[in-house]
Amino acid sequence: MFFTENRTTTDSFWDQSAETITPEDLKALQLHRLKSVLQTASRSEFYGRGFKEIGLRADSISSLDDVRKIPFTSKQDLRDSYPYGLLCEPKDRLVRMHVSSGTTGQATAVFYTRSDLEVWADLLARCMYMAGARPGDTFQNLTGYGLFTGGLGFHYGAERLGLLTIPSGAGNSKRQIQIMHDFSTSVIHIIPSFALLLMDVMSEMGIDPRKDLSLKIAFVGAEPYSEEVRRRIEDFYGIKVYNSYGLSEMNGPGVAFECRCQSGLHLWEDAFLVEIVDPKTLEPVPEGTYGELVLTTLTREAMPILRYRTKDLTRIIPGNCPCGRVHRRIDRIRGRSDDMFIIKGVNVFPIQVEQVLMNIPEVGNNYVIMLRREKNVDEMIVRVEVTDRIFVEDMRRLQQLQKKIAHDLKGELLLTPKIELVEPNSLPRSDGKAMRLIDQRIT
Ligand code: AMP
Ligand code: ZN
């Protein structure tokens, strides 16, 4: 067992020695774990074959830089090895399976031994404790249970920490609000698009969360969102929002998480080896520069994944965090390299559109970007819900708003999309991750 023995919990730290380990000790631990995970990985069909081809063995690794001797693993490798090609343990040692949400193609399966689950739960307890959740809090987990890792992942982390845990799942807005009210929920886990939707539902029901509910903390993640959306959620609910990052291939949530300083997400380097590479050259970028996040599991038994190309774009934030944790911080995910679209020669990330929209008070809580091709000309349409207040007002105000959105987007993107304003709550919503981009161009 990696994390559960000899833990010292203090006022500030769930696992003091793990969180405040010295950089030298952390490096030594990483090297030790890297060698051991390489050994484990070589038992799988996929890595066993790959390592043999290039003559890679655990003793080929004598420093952390040697991680670069290991080939990258891609999502396609996981798909090609589906379902059991990366498995390193016999089936009688496995106790759980999840899959990635599959927003970008065929899903991939991830397996866990009992120890893998213990380590994962402990990492999540560490995250939640860091953000201020404590025994005595009521924790409502408003994310999908089942194959998605966000449900059970947070659930067991919260129980380990000792929170009263309500597995309320995704959807069912009114019931969620009722539960929050009746059981004085103080801590929630929610994806950003659902947090925005609940704001509209609460407004419709005449509920003011600041007066009528007891919320104080939200863990928000699983999909990209902007600083502007964080601010909207914090202002409306009167709470603190902490960014939660993870992916099924690395357990699920609990990979990186914001501390109370809210300035970047501590990536737990005793469990994951982090690299940021240029997505084109695959060479490491200098500290502080944006690139693709590449992660290696350091503790997993059932299914280690080495040098996994996450496609998520971020950077290491240089310098130390005032909270005293040694684990380096990554910046808010800017988007995935495969989210980026090109229109009229301009590269656009959906998050750039969101930043602009969410800064305009008359803009409501949902939007969608549509790309079309008419007579060989590409067109970008941004369909935007407006707030209740503006919609009943006159046409002139709406036209002004339309112009302002187009103008502000042009400032950010250097192209002028077509803006369509629609009524509040009229765009389709999903129970899972939001679909912000509909690309109808035939490529
Ligand atoms: P899945 O494995 O299906 O849960 O999806 C994981 C992916 O969700 C990651 O690779 C990211 O692209 C995205 N994701 C998860 N958490 C965040 C976050 N806090 N900010 C931005 N994107 C996130
Ligand atoms: Zn910190």
pLDDT, one tens digit per residue, over 281-321 is 999 999 999 999 999 999 999 999 999 999 999 999 999 99
The amino acid at 199: M
Q: Please compute the mean of the pLDDT values over residues 26-31 and round it to a whole number.
A: 98
Whether 188 and 218 have beta carbons less than 8 Å apart is answered as: yes
> Looking at the domain 341-439, which fold is it?
GMP Synthetase; Chain A, domain 3 (3.30.300)
CA-nearest of 242, 199, 205 to 363 is 199
Atom index in ligand 1 nearest the CA of residue 148 equals 4
User: CB neighbours of 200 closer than 8 A, spacing ≥ 6?
Assistant: 364, 365, 424, 425
CA torsion sign for 345, 351, 354, 356 is negative
The whole-number pLDDT of residue 3 equals 58
Q: Which ligand is nearest to the CA of 242?
A: 1
Write b or e for each residue in 282-292: b if 16 or more Cβ atoms lie within 10 A of its Cβ, otherwise e.
Answer: eeebeeeeebb
Residue 40 near ligand 1, beta carbon < 6 Å: no
The answer on pLDDT for 338 being more than 90 is: no
Cα 122 to its chain centre, rounded Å, is 18
Q: Which ligand is nearest to the CA of 328?
A: 2
Residue 243 near ligand 1, beta carbon < 6 Å: yes
Residue 248 near ligand 1, beta carbon < 6 Å: yes
Sort 306 into a burial class: Cβ within 10 Å, 0-12 / 13-18 / 19+.
Answer: buried
Q: How far is the CA of 99 from the centre of ligand 2 (A)?
A: 30
The answer on pLDDT for 104 being more than 90 is: no
Cα 35 to its chain centre, rounded Å, is 28
Atom index in ligand 1 nearest the CA of residue 103 equals 3
The answer on pLDDT for 375 being more than 90 is: no
Residue 244 near ligand 1, beta carbon < 6 Å: yes
Residue 327 near ligand 1, beta carbon < 6 Å: no
CA torsion sign for 28, 332, 168, 165 is positive
The answer on pLDDT for 249 being more than 90 is: yes
Q: Please compute the mean of the pLDDT values over residues 367-383 and round it to a whole number.
A: 93
CA-nearest of 322, 298, 318 to 308 is 298
Residue 247 near ligand 1, beta carbon < 6 Å: yes
Q: How far is the CA of 263 from the centre of ligand 2 (A)?
A: 7
3 state DSSP class of 20: coil
The closest residue, in CA terms, to atom 10 on ligand 1 is 247
Task: Give CA–CA dist 351/285, Å, rounded.
Answer: 23
The whole-number pLDDT of residue 233 equals 98
The whole-number pLDDT of residue 120 equals 98
The two tokens of residue 103 are: 């927003």
Model confidence at 419, pLDDT cuts 50, 70, 90, reads: very high
Residue with token string 């280690």: 304
The whole-number pLDDT of residue 2 equals 58
In the chain, what is the greatest distance between 2 CA atoms, to the nearest angstrom? 73
Q: Which ligand is nearest to the CA of 258?
A: 2
Task: Give CA–CA dist 406/351, Å, rounded.
Answer: 16
Q: How far is the CA of 324 from the centre of ligand 2 (A)?
A: 6
The amino acid at 77: D
Mean of pLDDT over the chain: 94
Model confidence at 395, pLDDT cuts 50, 70, 90, reads: confident
Pocket test for ligand 1, best of 223, 225, 250, 332 (most atoms within 8 A of CB): 223
The whole-number pLDDT of residue 443 equals 59
The answer on pLDDT for 345 being more than 90 is: no
Q: Please compute the mean of the pLDDT values over residues 390-404 and round it to a whole number.
A: 85
Return the beta strands (E) in 268-386 as ranges. 272-277, 291-297, 308-314, 316-317, 329-330, 335-336, 341-343, 346-348, 363-374, 377-386
Torsion of CA 395, 398, 400, 404, to 10 degrees: -170
ω before 83 within 30° of 0 (cis)? yes
Atom index in ligand 1 nearest the CA of residue 224 equals 21
The answer on pLDDT for 1 being more than 60 is: no
User: CB neighbours of 341 closer than 8 A, spacing ≥ 6?
Assistant: 347, 348, 350, 371, 437, 439
ω before 284 within 30° of 0 (cis)? no
Write out pLDDT tens, residues 143-183.
999 999 999 999 999 999 999 999 999 999 999 999 999 99
Residue 100 near ligand 1, beta carbon < 6 Å: yes
The answer on pLDDT for 66 being more than 60 is: yes
The answer on pLDDT for 103 being more than 60 is: no
By percentage, how much of the chain surpasses pLDDT 90? 88
The whole-number pLDDT of residue 209 equals 98
Would you give the DSSP letter of residue 156? H
Whether 225 and 358 have beta carbons less than 8 Å apart is answered as: no
The answer on pLDDT for 43 being more than 90 is: yes
Write out pLDDT tens, residues 194-229.
999 999 999 999 999 999 999 999 999 999 999 999
Model confidence at 102, pLDDT cuts 50, 70, 90, reads: low
For domain 1-338, the question of CATH label 3.40.1790.10 is answered with: no
3 state DSSP class of 355: helix
Tell whether pTM > 0.85: yes
The whole-number pLDDT of residue 391 equals 66
The answer on pLDDT for 36 being more than 60 is: yes
Residue 336 near ligand 1, beta carbon < 6 Å: yes
Q: How far is the CA of 247 from the centre of ligand 1 (A)?
A: 5
Whether 383 and 257 have beta carbons less than 8 Å apart is answered as: no
Whether 118 and 272 have beta carbons less than 8 Å apart is answered as: no
- Show me where the domains of the chain are located: 1-338, 341-439
Pocket test for ligand 1, best of 190, 243, 308, 312 (most atoms within 8 A of CB): 312
Residue with token string 């010292």: 8
Left (φ > 0), alpha (ψ -120 to 50) or beta: where does 141 sit?
A: beta
Atom index in ligand 1 nearest the CA of residue 336 equals 12
Would you give the DSSP letter of residue 144? -
Atom index in ligand 1 nearest the CA of residue 100 equals 3
> Rounded to the nearest 10 degrees, what angle do helices 192-205 and 227-237 cross at?
30
Cα 372 to its chain centre, rounded Å, is 29
